Amino acid sequence: MTNQTAVVTGASSGIGAASARRLAAEGFSVICAARREDRISALAEEIGGRAVACDVTDRAAVARLAEQAGEDVALLINNAGGAVGLEPVADADLDAWQTMYSANVIGAAAVTKAFLPTLIKNEGQVIFVTSTAADGGYEGGAGYCGAKAAERAIVQSMRLELVDQPVRIAEVSPGMVRTEEFSLTRFGGDQEKADKVYAGVDHPLVAEDIADVIGWIATRPPHMNIDRITVRPRAQAAQHKVHRTV
């Protein structure tokens, strides 16, 4: 994979940062994209990559990212997104829903659209990081589940639309992954609520586990497409079924 360029969105923390490190170890030249320029600059320096500040909900920023990335991009990791809130529909914060749809759905579509001509030219690959939340609804999850299901619909539609083109479309669907920010962001910085998500769970996944999967998909031969991989910790049998020791 030496000399191929990979773009990772949401690279400032969590799965995005871990994926950037993993892809650099695989020989990719990695462009780290996220809103927090200080974080991605430090990461890019660490892995010998490049940092490009980008909010995926800003069309002009997405266009700049594609322009600065250049013509060698052969891999796009659509990781930017996240969850906000855990209220039932009756109490839904619709501004939070808009935030989730803007990043997880419209943002992923915008970045993909911007890079698609280059990816096709380079016989490349797009990997979407969705969630097991896309599998079905759960209490308090309607906004996030809906956003991730919509993102999955992009994956499914693109694979059909581009079947005659030399580009691969893959999806990684993580279950419970403990990162430093995901649940903290979901609960508005409430550390106690964030910690309860993982309370009593024996070895929830970590960002590096998902990066491992992304690195494996990214290095499969060009004739092989990995449609979707679902990755959960052993303690999580389903979205609603988690074994806890407390």
- Find the catalytic residue in 101, 138, 144, 198: 144
Cα gap 109→132, rounded to integer Å: 19
Q: Amino acid identity, residue 24?
A: A
Cα gap 125→4, rounded to integer Å: 11
Comparing CA positions, the residue from 69, 53, 13 lying closest to residue 210 is: 13
The torsion angles phi and psi of 220, rounded to 5 degrees, stand at: -75, 155
Sheet architecture: strand order including 228-231:
50-53, 29-34, 5-9, 73-78, 125-129, 168-174, 228-231
Three-state SS for 76? strand
Q: Is 144 a catalytic residue?
A: yes
Return the active site residues: 144
